[in-house]
């Protein structure tokens, strides 16, 4: 595609349905003077935040819900606070996420009603009197959205890439847990090495993390391959090697080699992961041959998985369609299938599926229910795959957003779903 029409951000589409607000019984009791403020904070500190309370009016015919309340302990200087859970916000209407203060206290609060399988990372954005304009003005809103803080009363956080501070997260009782990511003393560890790989096609070089599985007794036997984009997130930040160790030890996948190329920076990522045939060539003609000199890798596309998230999910599907002789499995999470314009008739990957013969590629797709911008395009791609005879294509939606917290468990399920059959 022409470089001149490549986007540099997702389309800006207002949230189609408003966030379902709720009332916290505990905050209401504080406001009514039924609870002492000091006791309120002692309980919140001991329990951890956000507060999770039973739904006040449960629907017996619907899935379970909870009232989730984000808190901030303000000071006399505090002017405004935003609660920003991943994708439970609309940048075009920031007032929806603005906390309220219980009069006469330092308790700032914001509550919503969410289904019990929801999970999300979130930030608290705080103006302690240093904002450049009056709260509620566009200038102040733009500034405030950059004042991210972790939740001081939440012990749960997720590491992030590029040196960013960890980010807090919330998981409701029925949300999938990341148990496969926990270090287990009884599980042998694979070896992780980091290399610098030069690409003549792209005119740059990048780090690539290489995972070699533990305990290979037949070194001449070729290994299945997982190529996973955004390596700087998946290995140094999140430690994907632990996931692979556990899946192998449990017999859920065969011993696998993993190649994790990094995204150099945001601008380069937009350029390379936007359906760029040069990047596909880097994968097929440079990265995989280079790695084959380190480890005995399979050349069987049915035992090769290309995986990514967001733009990486877009490229995983695009590269498999462009190079099915090398990539027989595409694992796409929250894929940017709106690309390049956000208009249904322009969605390139969906167009390729509809206009191409059925290829020997298996697709594992997932998207978050809260991702109102990209879910429609993901569903259109799902429908196109079914129309073209991809009966084994998997499509799932999870109750979350554009979020590494959700992608961790979705990644584990996708790897097992695609590579588990290769045993």
The pLDDT of 357-365, averaged and rounded, is 97
pLDDT digits (tens, 9 = 90+) for 129-145: 988 888 888 888 889 98
Residue with tokens 């930030």: 123
pLDDT digits (tens, 9 = 90+) for 245-266: 999 999 999 999 999 999 999 9
Q: Quote the tokens at residue 70.
A: 């984000």
Confidence tier at 12 by pLDDT (50, 70, 90): confident
Quick one: how many helices (H) and strands (E) in the chain?
12, 17
Whether a cis peptide bond, with omega within 30° of 0, leads into 340 is yes
Q: Is the dihedral of CA 293, 296, 301, 306 positive or negative?
A: negative
Strands 107-115 and 394-398: unpaired
Cβ of 12: how many Cβ atoms within 10 Å? 10
DSSP tag of 263: P
pLDDT digits (tens, 9 = 90+) for 34-88: 999 999 999 999 999 999 999 977 776 678 999 999 999 999 999 999 999 999 9
pLDDT digits (tens, 9 = 90+) for 82-106: 999 999 987 777 788 999 999 999 9
Query: Rounded to an integer, what distance in angstroms lies between the CA atom of residue 271 and that of residue 311?
Result: 10
CA 128 to chain centre: 30
**Residue among 422, 419, 350, 421 nearest 390 (CA):** 350
Per DSSP (E only), the strands in 74-132 are 80-85, 100-101, 107-115, 119-127
Query: Rounded to an integer, what distance in angstroms lies between the CA atom of residue 310 and that of residue 278?
Result: 19
Query: Rounded to an integer, what distance in angstroms lies between the CA atom of residue 222 and that of residue 289?
Result: 14
3-class SS of residue 148: strand
Q: Which pLDDT does position 46 carry in this prediction?
A: 97
Element (H, E) at 194: strand 191-199
Average pLDDT, the chain: 93
pLDDT digits (tens, 9 = 90+) for 208-236: 999 999 987 666 679 999 999 999 999 99
Query: Rounded to an integer, what distance in angstroms lies between the CA atom of residue 329 and that of residue 212?
Result: 20
DSSP tag of 21: B
Element (H, E) at 414: helix 404-419
The pLDDT of 276-305, averaged and rounded, is 97
Query: Rounded to an integer, what distance in angstroms lies between the CA atom of residue 101 and that of residue 90?
Result: 21
Residue with tokens 């002692």: 42
Q: Which pLDDT does position 266 carry in this prediction?
A: 92
pTM, whole model, 2 decimals? 0.94
Q: Which pLDDT does position 217 carry in this prediction?
A: 60
């Amino acid at each position: 595609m022409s470089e001149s029409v490549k986007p540099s951000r997702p389309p800006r589409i207002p949230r189609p349905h408003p966030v379902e607000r709720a009332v916290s019984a505990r905050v209401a009791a504080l406001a009514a003077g039924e609870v002492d403020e000091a006791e309120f904070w002692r309980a919140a500190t001991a329990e951890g935040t956000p507060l999770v309370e039973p739904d006040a009016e449960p629907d017996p015919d619907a899935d379970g819900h909870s009232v989730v309340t984000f808190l901030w302990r303000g000071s006399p200087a505090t002017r405004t606070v935003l609660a920003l859970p991943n994708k439970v916000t609309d940048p075009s209407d920031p007032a929806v996420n603005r906390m309220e203060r219980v009069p006469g206290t330092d308790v700032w609060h914001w509550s919503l009603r969410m289904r019990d399988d929801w999970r999300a990372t979130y930030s608290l954005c705080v103006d302690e009197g240093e904002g450049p304009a009056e709260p509620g003005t566009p200038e102040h809103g733009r500034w405030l959205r950059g004042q991210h803080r972790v939740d001081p009363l939440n012990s749960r956080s997720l590491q992030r890439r590029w040196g960013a501070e960890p980010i807090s997260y919330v998981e409701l009782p029925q949300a999938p847990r990341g148990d496969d990511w926990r270090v287990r003393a009884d599980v042998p560890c694979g070896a992780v090495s980091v290399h610098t790989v030069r690409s003549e096609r792209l005119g740059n070089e990048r780090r690539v993390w290489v995972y070699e599985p533990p305990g290979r007794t037949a070194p001449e036997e070729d290994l299945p391959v997982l190529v996973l984009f955004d390596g700087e997130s998946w290995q140094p930040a999140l430690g994907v090697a632990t996931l692979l160790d556990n899946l192998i030890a449990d017999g859920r996948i065969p011993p696998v080699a993993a190649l994790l190329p990094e995204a150099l920076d945001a601008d380069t990522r937009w350029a390379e992961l936007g359906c760029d045939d040069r990047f596909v060539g880097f994968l097929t003609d440079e990265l995989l041959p280079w790695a084959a000199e380190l480890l005995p890798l399979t050349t069987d596309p049915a035992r090769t998985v290309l995986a990514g998230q967001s733009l990486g999910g877009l490229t995983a599907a695009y590269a498999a369609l462009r190079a099915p002789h090398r990539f027989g499995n595409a694992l796409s999470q929250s894929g940017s299938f709106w690309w390049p314009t956000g208009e249904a008739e322009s969605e390139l990957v969906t167009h390729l599926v509809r206009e191409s013969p059925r290829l020997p590629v298996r697709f594992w797709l997932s998207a978050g229910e809260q991702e109102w911008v990209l879910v429609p395009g993901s569903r259109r791609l799902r429908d196109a795959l079914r129309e073209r005879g991809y009966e084994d294509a998997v499509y799932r939606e999870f109750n979350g957003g554009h979020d590494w917290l959700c992608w961790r468990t979705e990644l584990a399920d996708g790897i097992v779903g695609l590579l588990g059959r290769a045993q």
